[in-house]
Structure 1
Amino acid sequence: MKAVEENPEVAVVVSAGSPMEPFLQARAVARVVGGAEGEAVRERLVAKVPEAAPFLAAPVRPVVLTVPRWRVTDIPNGWLPGREFPG
């Protein structure tokens, strides 16, 4: 977390693990949150993914990512290089 706080620019990849399935890449700005905002992040995550509740009950610090744009690569549909979409 110290590294993220010192340099909040991060890379993000969303992938099933196969290059032949669509995947997303982005640069983002990470912001470590706490207090009421951190609790709101936890509540949203548990509402979306209830099985994450035990993990989020641990003393972890939520991080909010701001993604200005995504690059989507979909090789079977000819998106190579990928196409950019707004965040």
Structure 2
Amino acid sequence: MSSLDRMLAFSTFALRPDLLTQPMLLIAGSEADTKIYSDQAYGLSSGPKELFVIEGASHIALYDVPGYVDQAVEKLAFFFGQL
């Protein structure tokens, strides 16, 4: 395994779950290849948490498809309004 392979495979998620105690909102698309990272962070967090999945959205679609962006922004506004 090359050093580049090791860097790309390295994950800090499991190293310090004790730091994941703050309120956490994770937003992921149901079709996002990156959703696994949201699932992992959700599982490691011991604080108040929510995983909000936007059905049909890919990772990139969450940035520029109005229907998906609107859902994410509405959820973010509600989340930050509670803090």
TM-score class, shorter: under 0.3
Which protein is bigger by CA-based radius of gyration?
1
Higher helix share: 2
TM-score normalised by the chain length of structure 2: 0.25
Higher strand share: 1
TM-score normalised by the chain length of structure 1: 0.24
